[in-house]
Amino acid sequence: MPEALKIGTPKETFPGENRVAMTPDSARQLQKLGYSCLVQSGAGTAAGFSDQAYEEAGVEIVKTAASLWKKADIVTKVRPPDDKELGYLAKGKTLISFFNPGGNADGLDKAKASGANVIAMEMVPRISRAQKMDALSSMANIAGYRAVIEAGNNFGRFFTGQITAAGKVPPAKVLVVGAGVAGLAAIGTSTSLGAITYAFDVRPEVAEQVESMGAEFVYLDFQEEQQDGAATGGYASVSSPEFREAQLAKFRELAPEMDIVITTALIPNRDAPKLWLEDMVKAMKPGSVIIDLAAERGGNVEGTVQDEKVVTENGVTIVGYTDFPSRMASQASTLYATNIRHMMTDLTPAKDGQVNHNMEDDVIRGATVTYEGEITFPPPPPKVQAIAAKSKEKPKELTPEERREKEAAAFKAQTKQQVSLLAIGGLAMLLVGLVAPASFMQHFIVFVLSVFVGFQVIWNVSHSLHTPLMAVTNAISSIIILGALMQIGSGSLLVILLAGVSVFMAGINIFGGFLVTRRMLAMFQKS
């Protein structure tokens, strides 16, 4: 049996990067897959993971990055490798990290020349099976949450409205541009803080998600056929110039009303589109805040300065930080390390500490950018399309004549059915009446009619109304009680006993039905 491969995580070299690609918990899980784990000394300190915590998890501590790269067969990182780290790559090694293959041609060439296999975590396809490995979504979720927290830190009022003895404080109005993972996280955080939240996205299919989170979706008076999100990997596509103009006009209308604007719009391998222009910034009230989550790709806002906070002449604060996940390093590292661990699980189906780099697998193939001395970026489209909302076909509106014809046909069919049932029932009564005594037939006919009427009433009521319908069925219970009371005076002990039981059970149904109905109706009443 071959020796177990070693997975190593060096300390991040990018300035200000606090995340780490392996945590003590993820190391324990990787060891269960058969791997040995290495980590450079101090790699997790900034994220709150000490060398001692790694040692307790069975991880070997390596002093230098060069030594770790030499010992490790698989290297996991957060940031794309720099030139020095690319020089450590060699044939037979595997690198798993963010890599930016669309804007890193030099890095791809060096990785190809080294013969190493490189898996870019941002290239994990957005299909259902790969959600557990989707590092972009994990980091975007944190960025969206942190954006609202940063906005609150720079905003001079409450998010929620308050009425105090000192006066009334109106709720903040927040606009989130882009309802992807980061946008939805920002919407959820904003609404939970009590702000009046609006959201815009070029994909109308996300409106339902936005509204389900308590925000209001901003619609445009513009009809344009949008490309299915499945065809673009779950991302928004480039809009037409006409759509863009309608979009900007809507933003100009909203700008004076908004207290906080959070922009999240990004298109893969493109500069961020400019959505919040200078005149919109000038139209905002003094003290307003803009958080530009696309600052790393040029920003969605005119006036954004990467990694800086700018205050405009009219008192609007524009925040262009690009390290929101790094500002929550412990949580971000935990999520990212879990994404990598799931990737390693797919790469190790036998759990024997050996990598099976299956290029026939949609997820592995999609994320691999260099393999055995060849550049494999861009990948072919996955066999299973990305998650996208299915377009709902609008039902054809009927003309008044067609509606009348449909109702008449339905009435005829229902009448035919009921007449047939009554005819069959009548025939059955006649057949039974030939052999049964008259006293039995009286009760039997009432019983059959009760079953028929009850079936017709209950069957045509919506399932959601069945419980409130208990209040109506109390009438049936009342009839049972009346019948039972009439029989209590009978000379038969058995009949008296059965009648008493009937009164008791029907009474429970009556009182219990009213109590249940009252409680259910109270649930839907607004105080």
Structure confidence by residue, pLDDT tens digits, 463-483: 555 554 554 566 667 667 777
Residues 196, 175: contact at Cβ < 8 Å? no
Residues 205, 392: contact at Cβ < 8 Å? no
Fold entry, domain 140-326: Rossmann fold (3.40.50)
Q: What is the mean pLDDT of residues 213-241?
A: 70
What's the predicted TM-score (pTM) here?
0.73
pLDDT, tens digit (0-9, with 9 covering 90-100), for 58-71:
999 999 999 999 99
List the catalytic residue out of 19, 97, 134, 292: 134
Question: Does 34 score more than 90 pLDDT?
Answer: yes
Taking Cα atoms as reference points, which of 334, 364, 269 lies closest to residue 139?
334
CA distance 201 to 309: 25
Residues 356, 347: contact at Cβ < 8 Å? yes
Task: Give pLDDT, residue 433.
Answer: 79
pLDDT band at 406 (very low <50, low <70, confident <90, very high): confident
Task: Tell me the β-bridge partners of 74.
Answer: 7, 94
pLDDT band at 325 (very low <50, low <70, confident <90, very high): very high
Q: Of the ranges 49-58, 66-75, 294-303, 429-438, which one carries the lowest mean pLDDT score?
A: 429-438
Q: Of the ranges 61-65, 255-259, 273-277, 504-508, which one carries the lowest mean pLDDT score?
A: 504-508
- Mean pLDDT (the chain) is 87
Q: Which two tokens stand for residue 469?
A: 């319908």
Burial class (CB in 10 A: 0-12, 13-18, 19+), 410: exposed
User: Residues 53, 57, 58, 64: is their CA dihedral positive or negative?
Assistant: negative
List the catalytic residue out of 137, 138, 247, 502: 137
Question: Does 230 score more than 60 pLDDT?
Answer: no
Which strands make up the sheet holding 368-371, listed edge to edge? Answer: 60-62, 36-40, 6-9, 74-76, 94-97, 117-120, 368-371, 374-375
Q: What is the mean pLDDT of residues 96-125?
A: 95
Task: Give pLDDT, residue 233.
Answer: 53
- Active-site residue flag, 126: yes
List the catalytic residue out of 41, 67, 131, 478: 131
**DSSP letter string, 110-134:** HHHHHT-EEEEGGG---SGGGGGG-
Angle at 232 between CA 273 and CA 292, to 5 degrees: 30
Angle at 50 between CA 47 and CA 55, to 5 degrees: 135
- H/E stretch holding 8: strand 6-9
Question: Does 13 score more than 50 pLDDT?
Answer: yes
Q: What is the mean pLDDT of residues 169-182?
A: 95
Task: Give pLDDT, residue 527.
Answer: 46
Task: Tell me the β-bridge partners of 75.
Answer: 8, 95
Task: Give pLDDT, residue 389.
Answer: 47
How many CB atoms lie under 10 A from the CB of residue 521?
A: 12
Q: According to DSSP H, which parts of 258-376 are helical? A: 278-283, 329-347, 362-367
CA distance 333 to 339: 10
CA distance 61 to 55: 7
Residues 395, 382: contact at Cβ < 8 Å? no
- Active-site residue flag, 235: yes
Residue 368: strand, helix, or coil? strand
Q: What is the mean pLDDT of residues 250-268?
A: 94
Backbone angles phi, psi at 324, to 5 degrees: -55, -45
Helix axes 135-154, 329-347, angle to 10 degrees: 170
The structure tokens 């409106």 sit at 207
Residues 288, 317: contact at Cβ < 8 Å? yes
pLDDT band at 399 (very low <50, low <70, confident <90, very high): confident
286: left (phi over 0), alpha (psi -120 to 50) or beta: beta
Using CA atoms of 425, 430, 432, 438 in order, give the dihedral in degrees to the nearest 10.
Answer: 120
Burial class (CB in 10 A: 0-12, 13-18, 19+), 336: buried
Measured in whole angstroms, how far is the alpha carbon of residue 166 from the centre of its chain? 40
Amino acid letter at 8?
Answer: G
List the catalytic residue out of 126, 146, 203, 365: 126
List the catalytic residue out of 28, 157, 228, 235: 235
- Active-site residue flag, 29: no
Task: Give pLDDT, residue 236.
Answer: 57
CA distance 501 to 7: 74
Query: What are the strands, taking DSSP E only, across 226-359?
Result: 260-263, 289-292, 309-311, 317-319
Count the residues in the chain.
527
- Active-site residue flag, 365: no
Fold entry, domain 6-123+348-375: Rossmann fold (3.40.50)
Question: Does 390 score more than 70 pLDDT?
Answer: no
